[in-house]
Structure 1
Amino acid sequence: MNALAIARRRTLALCATCLALLIALVGIALSTGQFHIPFLDALRALFGAGDSATVLVVQQFRAPRVIAALVAGAALAVAGSMTQRLLRNPLASPDVIGVTGGASVGAVLVLAAGSVPAAFTPVAAVAGGLLVAALLGASAWRSRVSVTRLVLVGVAIQQGLAAVVNLMIVRFPEELAGQALQWTSGSLYGRTWPEIWIAGGAIAVVGAGAALIQRHVAVLDLGDESAGGLGLDSRRSRLGLLLLAVVLASLAAALAGPVGFVALVVPHIVRRLAGPPTAATLVLTALTGALLLLAADYVALNLLPIRGLPAGTVTATLGAPWLLWLMARSQRRNLT
Structure 2
Amino acid sequence: MNNPARKTKRRRGQSAVVLCALFACLFVLIVLNLAIGDENIGLWDVLKSLAGQGDAGVRFLVMEFRMPRILLAVLAGGALSIAGVVAQFLMKNPLAAPDTLGITGGAGLGAVIVTVLFSQQSPLLLTGAAFSGSVLAAILVYLLAYRNGISPVRLALVGIAVNAFCHSGIQLLISRGSPNVNSALIWLNGSLWGRGWQDVLPLFIWCCLVIPPIWLAAKPLDIIKSGDGIAVGLGIRLERTRFLLLAGAVLLTAAAVTAVGTIGFIGLMAPHIARKLAGAETKILIPVAALVGGIVLLIADAAGRGLVPPLEIPAGLIAAVIGGPYFIYLLRREEHKKRRHA
Match of 1:309 in 2: 313
What is the aligned counterpart of 1:134 among 114, 128, 139?
139
What is the aligned counterpart of 1:281 among 280, 285, 294?
285
Match of 2:86 in 1: 82
Residues of 1 paired with 2:236 and 2:149: CA distance?
A: 21
In the TM superposition, what whole-angstrom CA distance separates every residue of 1:271-329 from its partner, at most 9, and x where no partner exists? 11111223122111111111110011101111357841001111111111222222233
Question: 1:249 corresponds to which letter in structure 2?
Answer: T
Residues of 1 paired with 2:128 and 2:213: CA distance?
A: 19
Residues of 2 paired with 1:145 and 1:75: CA distance?
A: 23
In the TM superposition, what whole-angstrom CA distance separates every residue of 1:136-158 from its partner, at most 9, and x where no partner exists? 22332249896346434433432
1:215 to 1:254, Cα distance in 2 relative to 1, 3 A: same
Match of 2:186 in 1: 182
Between stretches 90-99 and 68-77, larger displacement belongs to 90-99
Question: 1:125 corresponds to which letter in structure 2?
Answer: A
Equivalent pair of 1:187/1:311 in contact (CA under 8 Å): yes
Deviation at 1:117, TM superposition (A): 4.1
Q: How does 1:35-114 map to 2 (within 5 A)?
A: 35-112=39-116, 113=118
Equivalent pair of 2:135/2:250 in contact (CA under 8 Å): yes
3-state DSSP of counterpart to 1:3: helix
Between stretches 274-283 and 154-163, larger displacement belongs to 154-163
What is the aligned counterpart of 1:193 among 197, 202, 205?
197
Residues of 2 paired with 1:146 and 1:234: CA distance?
A: 12
3-state DSSP of counterpart to 1:49: coil
Paired residue total: 335
1:154 to 1:14, Cα distance in 2 relative to 1, 3 A: same
Residues of 2 paired with 1:221 and 1:34: CA distance?
A: 48
Match of 1:270 in 2: 274
Match of 2:34 in 1: 30
Structure 2 residue runs without a partner (length 5+): none
Deviation at 1:57, TM superposition (A): 1.4
Residues of 2 paired with 1:134 and 1:195: CA distance?
A: 25
Equivalent pair of 1:220/1:227 in contact (CA under 8 Å): yes
Deviation at 1:202, TM superposition (A): 1.5
Deviation at 1:239, TM superposition (A): 1.1
Equivalent pair of 1:27/1:40 in contact (CA under 8 Å): no
Equivalent pair of 2:69/2:192 in contact (CA under 8 Å): yes
Residues of 2 paired with 1:270 and 1:318: CA distance?
A: 16
Q: Is 2:163 aligned against 1:158? A: yes
Match of 1:10 in 2: 14
What is the aligned counterpart of 1:215 among 216, 219, 242?
219
Between stretches 247-256 and 48-57, larger displacement belongs to 48-57
3-state DSSP of counterpart to 1:95: helix
Deviation at 1:260, TM superposition (A): 0.6
In the TM superposition, what whole-angstrom CA distance separates every residue of 1:251-281 from its partner, at most 9, and x where no partner exists? 1111111101000011011111111223122
In the TM superposition, what whole-angstrom CA distance separates every residue of 1:15-53 from its partner, at most 9, and x where no partner exists? 111111111111111111121111231233245322121
Q: What root-mean-square deviation, in Å, do the aligned CA atoms of Structure 1 and Structure 2 show?
A: 2.3
Structure 1 residue runs without a partner (length 5+): none
Residues of 1 paired with 2:51 and 2:124: CA distance?
A: 25
Give TM-score scaled by structure 2 length. 0.90
Equivalent pair of 2:91/2:152 in contact (CA under 8 Å): yes
Residues of 2 paired with 1:224 and 1:322: CA distance?
A: 31
Question: 1:168 corresponds to which letter in structure 2?
Answer: L
Residues of 2 paired with 1:68 and 1:114: CA distance?
A: 27
Identical columns (%): 34
Between stretches 134-143 and 52-61, larger displacement belongs to 134-143
